[in-house]
Amino acid sequence: YGDHRDLHSFPTRRSSDLDQGLYAKHLSNWLAHFPKERILIIFMEEIRQDPNEVARRVFRFLGVSDAHVPAALNSKSNPSYVVRYRLIDDAVKATRKIVKRVGLYRGWQALAATPLRTLYRAVNRIESEAVIPDPLPETISMLHDYFKGEIECLQQLTGRDLSKWLD
């Protein structure tokens, strides 16, 4: 199913990607410039558990009415996927490039609004979650060791119980 990366060696190959997970470090940088009450901290678990309540919290934090419920709040936007047939994907990309170059891109966009886009996606895309393997136990152990101190520091900064992150 395409050329997805070797996820088991990913953490050891890409320390800059690991650094993105140093939430306490990044939050500390923000707190050095802004008072804590000006920063709203939301965890992904909260969004997954109750996106409507999180939206209301964001609206209240911003000082706007929390009565609004965005239409797209419970829908998945920009989902990640793996291409099933690389040849078909390459042909579609090449065709789109040519159409754009010759000035017919509006026609391409109109075509994308038809059931053809849905058909293409059904045939040639697989949700990433369906093909990404579970991490190896040694990868989980390495990540746990790497982030343990960071998670403990984040607990202190946020006053939240993040013990589940340490399991």
Checking phi first, is residue 149 left (phi over 0); if not, alpha (psi -120 to 50) or beta? alpha
Residues 64-80 have pLDDT tens digits of: 998 888 888 878 778 88
The answer to whether residues 145 and 139 touch, using CB atoms and an 8 Å cutoff, is no
pLDDT exceeds 80 at position 24: yes
Task: Render pLDDT for 132-141 as a digit per residue (tens, 0 to 9).
Answer: 888 888 888 8
pLDDT of residue 5: 45
The pLDDT of residue 73: 83
Structure pTM?
A: 0.68
Helix, coil or strand: residue 1 = coil
Kindly tell me if the per-residue pLDDT of 114 is higher than 80.
Answer: yes
Question: What pLDDT, on a 0 to 100 scale, did the predictor assign at position 2?
Answer: 40
Q: Tokens at residue 94, please?
A: 């090449």
8 Å CB contact between 131 and 84: no
Neighbours of 154 (CB within 10 A): 22
pLDDT at 4: 42
- Residue-level pLDDT at 100: 92
- Local structure of 159: helix, strand or coil: coil
